[in-house]
Structure 1
Amino acid sequence: MKRIYIYTLGIVALFSCSKQLDVTPPNNITEEQIQELLSSGDEKKIQLVLGGMANNMPKMINFGALGSESRYASNQGFDAMRNLEGNDIVFGTRNLVMFGGDEYNLRDFISDASDKNFPYWSYGWNMVNTANKMLNYIGDDIVNTNKKLQEFKARGLILRAFAYNYLMENYQDAYLQGGKSKLGLSLYDRFAPVQESKARSSSEETYAFIKNDIKEAIRLLKEAGVGFTADKTDFDLGVAYFILAKVSLWTGDWTTTVSACNEILAKYPNLMTEAVYGGKNKAGATTPEFRPEQNGFLNIDINPEVILGFPVGEAVTVHNWWMNCFAEGNGGLGEGFARIDERLYSRIDNHDFRINSFLKNDFGEYTYPTNGVKRIIPSYANLKFAATHGMGSEDKKNVGRVSCYYMRSSEVLLMKAEALAQDQKGGDAKDALNVLLKARTIAGQTVLTCDTYSGMQGMDPLDMVKFQTRLELWGEGGREFYNNKRWNIPVNRASSANHVDKSSYAVSKMTLQIPLDEMQYNNKADQN
């Protein structure tokens, strides 16, 4: 990684606080002085020196940058494009020549020179570098037992673990589908403006590095007295355990997955109710109104599942722009409606209220506010992320004014269920799924279970988990794409009644090549 493009994200300069710290000469703090200040144990000085960098760590996940193409100018744009590269999301009602069209039609997004490849690489390495810039200053000899430094170091380790895992999800085959024996990533635990390139380590070494980071972060948070905090925007034990569970599931460490999930579920026992689970099917309404304040996917304040998320004003909202059929972006006015594949929809039990988050029939015409253009909202369009207004606004042009989330406890429950099923504990896996199914049963109906759910008859426990994961996490964070890699499920749309593109796509083609820029500037880089 000899050369990497770094986005400007408002990293706080360490040299701007010399007057406050009474350091001479002013505005010229040396690294030795920084180390001395950190070693002093003075919490106020530590906050002044590193607080800005430490507070920025969670914001790196909630990433938005200036760019001409929104699809590759933010993390949510990346995820929205991944959503289109699978089976379960249909893109519009006809072939669309617009952003998302190439991805949905499964044109090249993996080659080393593809403009649909490098942004993922840059996003991941930008997080690694940002974490390492701070971690440079807080080695174990500096941290010792200082609680503030323990907390700050944990934040850097969490971000680095998240970033490396993200890169592995994209740039290598799934660990249990042949990736274990292949190359991982170059492992950097320090940052320097000019530093010697490293060869790629093995996948086993890379995941060991990731797990060591996240386990050390958990230890530091516990010693610092930082548990499961009420602040949804920070890195706490919930975020750390979520990453540990995800990495452990990817690498087949079922015991650790279950243990990490149990830690989270003990603190997040409540799931979203029917009242706040997305928009509701109101076909035939002449003037539809979907308020984001009442939607747990758009308002994290009413969603008890949110482990990491950001409020209005801080939230990146590109996902809403793509997934909301009432938005004046490509996902609505542009007719790039995000629709559910009828093959998945047809298996949703009629007593499962998630069926009401998708249109069974055409909604009818909706008038978009800016120019009065009307569009037919088509059948199978999702209402999960529907909003006709912005949060706290009567202006329909402000539909993008919402909050966002990146981790929630339903996914944790599903990770636990999968680990149990993979570990041949089918009964326990079904018990975990039954918790979710009970919470998703329409009020007044007999509680759904794995044994009574109509669309899961004849399935074994693992297939039940896969089905419920596809349904519960539909349209969220590109999860289907990454799960298809893990489960060795190719894209095959041939039998779908409503897919516009009927392509197939092999799992072997879901792994991105190392970008050309890296291959040119890192003389030790090996291509996938």
Structure 2
Amino acid sequence: MKKILIYLLGGMVMVSCSKKLDVAPPNNITDEQIQELLRSGDEETIELVLGGMANNMPRMVNFSGINGTGTADGRYRSVQGLDVMRNLEGNDIVFADRTLNMFGSDEYNLLDFTSASSDKNSPYWFYAWSAITTANKMLNYLDDATVGSNGKLQEFKARGLVLRAYAYNYLMENYQVAYLQGGQEKLGMPLYDFYSPVQESKARASATETYDFIKKDLTEAIRLLEEAGVGYTTELADFDLGVAKFILARVALWTGDWATVISHSNDILTQYPNFMGESVYGGKNTGTNSNPVLRPEENGFLNNEVNPEVIFGFPLGEALTAHNSWMNCFAEGYGGLSQGFQRIDNRLYDLISSSDYRKEGFMAESWGDYTYPTNGDQRTIPTLTNLKFAATHGLGSDDKKNVGTVTCYYMRSSEVLLMKAEAQAQSGDGAGAEETLDILLAARTKSGSSTLTCDNYPAMAGLSALEKVQLQSRIELWGEGGREFYNNKRWNIEVNRAASTNHVDKSTYPVSKMTLQIPLDEIMYNDKMVQN
């Protein structure tokens, strides 16, 4: 029998478990003994044996510490850092107001971030496979016979399936041509449904087989959660029904399964009917432009407690803060003090209606001589820098040196509404798509203005229903999770900054170059791996 060493959360050896359960010798428990303990059905025992692993599943989406990245740049060691890099590789985000030689400049200047040898490529691969391995290590113990109808084991298995599906979809988004843009005929990923340190490497399955694998995991996870009575929970940092359905809707959007997108989006939106209001949509300055005060407590993008849209996120202390460090112009990292200001392309800014309060999430004029608290350095913050993620303080602190201590989110209901509208447009229901968009536009109408609709939004005149969804997705999801990059890839929209007034780099970049090559390490050590 294979012997394994069990760790609880935080790396603590499970000595107490073997003592409590009279299993000898301690820390040398067999797989079979573990499964027998799980089959006992005792919730305390199940929690003790498997709780640490199960509780770690959601945290892998909020992960920092990616190994083997081959770079000293800390952004490539966290999932939020990877997302920020994707943000820079598009049309809608302008990096600073002049050429900078700093982390992020290669990505913004659209230099090599896709080749097999690039150290800006491999972190995405290492992260996703680490998540798959983490999920499979737990799923090894949760076969159908062991799980049975035990609600706690059903919940734990669902968590593993959700994480594995999420990670495989992450690989497909990065390492293959978009499914509806030619990717359907290409290769997917090697499919591993169990963990063994000595198992043979596998060849790549087809893209269709890979997506079928992902959908099967998510469909099974949804069934298990429903049978276990785990629906839409109030705990934001867990894998509940909303998270599973969100990921499945996103996968279905990539693969053109419009009915599935609409069905699961409707279910989620029934549970999340409310949207952020004007008062908490981005940073609000209660000071002056030269001495601004923007409290994170009143910003729904930095404080989950005032954001009714959050489906999945993490509280203060658990939340990663790399995204805020890079997107917040008042931060003392690259996004602020080092002048890597994250600005909106003037072409998109000009398309936002003056009656749309989202326009106020960007500086209409430059703010002069902001003093950063640690060393007293001053910077002029340029026009069109975002206030969406801006704060001068940390949550619950009056000391500006604590700027950046915030919550974080990874999924919110506005994106669900946009996914639904796109699926309606793609399936030929243009009127339904516009009706869905009207819900978001009404929620984003500035107080005292006439309610915005698809019919009266100035920049949407003459657009198709799909083009209207695309525009509103660019506005609503600006700066979030690399969404523009992935959407451009999915919609076959190239990067073309030539006509922008405020882009520092005026490059173009074709969709054909948005697919990453398989990293060299994988090619070298897996003799069955085929390069893209």
With the shorter chain as reference, the TM-score category is over 0.9
Match for residue 35 of structure 2? 35
> Quick one: distance in 1 between partners of 2:318 and 2:115?
33
Give the alignment partner of residue 357 of structure 1, picking from 355, 361, 365: 361
Give the alignment partner of residue 432 of structure 1, picking from 429, 433, 436: 436
SS at structure 1 position matched to 2:379: strand
Count the aligned residue pairs.
Answer: 521
2:254 is aligned with 1:250: yes
> Quick one: distance in 2 between partners of 1:323 and 1:16?
44
Say whether the 8 Å CA contact 2:285–2:294 is kept in structure 1: no
Deviation at 1:370, TM superposition (A): 1.1
Give the alignment partner of residue 328 of structure 2, picking from 320, 324, 332: 324
Match for residue 393 of structure 1? 397
> Quick one: distance in 2 between partners of 1:370 and 1:222?
50
Letter in structure 2 aligned against 1:35: Q
Deviation at 1:455, TM superposition (A): 1.4
Match for residue 60 of structure 1? 60
Say whether the 8 Å CA contact 2:286–2:293 is kept in structure 1: no
Equivalent residue runs for 1:128-207 within 5 Å: 128-207=132-211
> Quick one: distance in 1 between partners of 2:357 and 2:287?
15
Say whether the 8 Å CA contact 2:9–2:52 is kept in structure 1: no
Structure 1 unaligned blocks of 5 or more? 1-7
SS at structure 1 position matched to 2:62: coil
Match for residue 223 of structure 2? 219
Deviations 1:383-413 (A, max 9, x none): 0000100011111111110000000000000
Letter in structure 2 aligned against 1:349: S
Deviations 1:358-394 (A, max 9, x none): 0111122201111111100100000000010001111
Give the alignment partner of residue 337 of structure 1, picking from 337, 341, 344: 341
Deviations 1:293-337 (A, max 9, x none): 000000001100000000110000000000000000111011100
Match for residue 78 of structure 1? 82
Say whether the 8 Å CA contact 1:339–1:381 is kept in structure 2: yes
Deviation at 1:219, TM superposition (A): 0.1
Give the alignment partner of residue 509 of structure 2, picking from 499, 505, 527: 505
Match for residue 280 of structure 1? 284
Match for residue 380 of structure 1? 384
> Quick one: distance in 1 between partners of 2:286 and 2:29?
61
Deviation at 1:12, TM superposition (A): 6.1
SS at structure 2 position matched to 1:17: helix
Give the alignment partner of residue 313 of structure 1, picking from 317, 326, 345: 317
Give the alignment partner of residue 485 of structure 1, picking from 476, 486, 489: 489
Deviation at 1:103, TM superposition (A): 0.2
Deviations 1:422-448 (A, max 9, x none): 001000000100000000001121100
> Quick one: distance in 2 between partners of 1:422 and 1:276?
32
Deviation at 1:141, TM superposition (A): 1.1
TM-score (structure 1 length as normaliser): 0.97
> Quick one: distance in 2 between partners of 1:344 and 1:381?
13
Equivalent residue runs for 1:86-165 within 5 Å: 86-165=90-169
SS at structure 2 position matched to 1:366: strand
Match for residue 21 of structure 1? 21
Match for residue 403 of structure 1? 407
Give the alignment partner of residue 521 of structure 1, picking from 521, 525, 528: 525
Match for residue 298 of structure 1? 302
Deviation at 1:14, TM superposition (A): 5.5
> Quick one: distance in 2 between partners of 1:138 and 1:285?
57
Letter in structure 2 aligned against 1:62: N
SS at structure 1 position matched to 2:347: helix
> Quick one: distance in 2 between partners of 1:433 and 1:395?
40
Match for residue 467 of structure 1? 471
> Quick one: distance in 2 between partners of 1:11 and 1:360?
49
Deviation at 1:9, TM superposition (A): 8.6
Deviations 1:170-210 (A, max 9, x none): 00000000000000000000011121000000000000000
> Quick one: distance in 1 between partners of 2:435 and 2:213?
33
Deviation at 1:289, TM superposition (A): 0.4
Letter in structure 2 aligned against 1:25: P
What RMSD, in angstroms, separates the aligned Cα atoms of the two structures? Answer: 1.4
2:60 is aligned with 1:49: no
> Quick one: distance in 1 between partners of 2:121 and 2:215?
26
> Quick one: distance in 2 between partners of 1:284 and 1:397?
19
Say whether the 8 Å CA contact 1:105–1:503 is kept in structure 2: yes
> Quick one: distance in 1 between partners of 2:11 and 2:155?
18
Q: Alpha carbons of 1:150 and 1:170: their partners in 2 closer, same or farther (altered >3 Å)?
A: same
> Quick one: distance in 2 between partners of 1:520 and 1:15?
39
> Quick one: distance in 2 between partners of 1:370 and 1:454?
44
Deviations 1:81-117 (A, max 9, x none): 0000000000000010000000000000000010000
> Quick one: distance in 1 between partners of 2:180 and 2:287?
44
Q: Alpha carbons of 1:32 and 1:15: their partners in 2 closer, same or farther (altered >3 Å)?
A: farther
> Quick one: distance in 2 between partners of 1:151 and 1:81?
34
Q: Alpha carbons of 1:11 and 1:462: their partners in 2 closer, same or farther (altered >3 Å)?
A: farther
Say whether the 8 Å CA contact 2:324–2:404 is kept in structure 1: yes
Alignment identity in percent? Answer: 67
Q: Alpha carbons of 1:209 and 1:16: their partners in 2 closer, same or farther (altered >3 Å)?
A: farther
Letter in structure 1 aligned against 2:36: E
SS at structure 1 position matched to 2:365: coil
